[in-house]
């Protein structure tokens, strides 16, 4: 299999293809271009684009190293017009919006960040520390949005110290699935009630909670304040980031 075909299939390109792969002093550089007149997608809403206006200057994305050789993608993205969104840069299938690393490299960074510090991860992949922080926040936000909370039955509640001076986070785990469900600031009763308020009374009644936590949930059903959107992922960069550091 040719290197161009391997990269195209690895990144699941349909409207794009790799025209050439060159060995430079910085590593391998794969040049990407549009295949004929294949339909592009709007970068904001993701719908197929009908009107292609112009092309932007060349942009560069870091990709997973091939062995010990760094690899990068270069491409001139198109500007497309959307009736609802206006003129936007097209959506590329190999990277998230505003990201300068590909999806495979993002997953590798997030996996290694679970074992090493962000500085060590940045040194390993030879990327900037801000790139590691942004990648981890994006992957965590995606995981929290995709988490199934309707199947919660047995949860574990713990507290972790995020820095010196008695600054704590309250963390909630799904013990059956072995995954993180929620993180809140501080370790007070109000913090725990905020979790149950986001979970909702119907889901809270399904939980198998022992002791005072279960009685608290059953005797005082959590009510959402007006306009409360329910259980939602953490916004990028708050308590979870500080706790990881």
Higher pLDDT, 51 or 105: 105
Would strands 69-75 and 59-66 be described as parallel, antiparallel, or unpaired? antiparallel
Q: For residues 230 and 97, give the distance between their C-alpha atoms in angstroms, rounded to a whole number.
A: 26
CA distances 134 to 17, 62, 66, 80, 121, Å, are 27, 14, 23, 26, 13
Grade residue 231 by pLDDT with cuts at 50, 70 and 90: very low
Band (pLDDT 50/70/90 cuts) for residue 227 is very low
- Indicate the SS3 state at residue 101: strand
Provide the pLDDT for residue 1: 65
Q: What is the pLDDT of residues 134-185, one digit of tens each?
A: 999 888 888 777 777 777 888 888 888 888 888 898 998 888 888 888 888 8
- The domain spans of the chain are 1-94, 98-146, 155-225+236-244
Q: pTM of the full predicted structure?
A: 0.65
In angstroms, the CA 84 to CA 47 distance is: 11
pLDDT digits (tens, 9 = 90+) for 23-50: 998 899 999 999 988 888 877 777 788 7
More confident of the two residues 171 and 244? 171
């Amino acid at each position: 299999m040719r290197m161009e075909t391997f990269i195209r299939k690895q990144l699941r390109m349909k409207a794009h293809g790799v025209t050439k792969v060159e060995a430079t002093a910085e590593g391998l550089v794969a040049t990407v271009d549009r295949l004929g007149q294949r339909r592009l997608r709007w970068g904001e809403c993701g719908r197929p684009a009908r009107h292609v206006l112009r092309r932007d200057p060349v942009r560069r994305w870091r990709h997973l190293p091939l062995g010990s050789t760094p690899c990068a993608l270069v491409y001139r993205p198109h500007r497309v017009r959307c009736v609802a969104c206006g003129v936007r840069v097209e959506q590329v299938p190999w990277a998230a919006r505003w990201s300068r690393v590909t999806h495979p490299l993002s997953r590798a960074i997030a996996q290694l960040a679970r074992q090493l510090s962000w500085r060590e991860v940045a040194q390993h992949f030879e990327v900037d520390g801000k790139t590691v922080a942004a990648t981890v926040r994006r992957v965590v936000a995606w995981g929290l949005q995709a988490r199934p909370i309707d199947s919660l039955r047995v949860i574990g509640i713990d507290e972790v110290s995020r820095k010196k001076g008695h600054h704590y986070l309250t963390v909630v785990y799904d013990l059956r699935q072995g995954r993180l469900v929620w993180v809140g600031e501080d370790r007070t009763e109000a913090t725990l009630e905020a979790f149950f308020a986001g979970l909702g009374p119907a889901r809270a009644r399904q939980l198998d909670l022992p002791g005072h936590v279960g009685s608290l949930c059953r005797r005082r059903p959590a009510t959402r304040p007006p306009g409360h959107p329910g259980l939602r992922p953490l916004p990028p960069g708050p308590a979870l980031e500080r706790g990881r550091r």
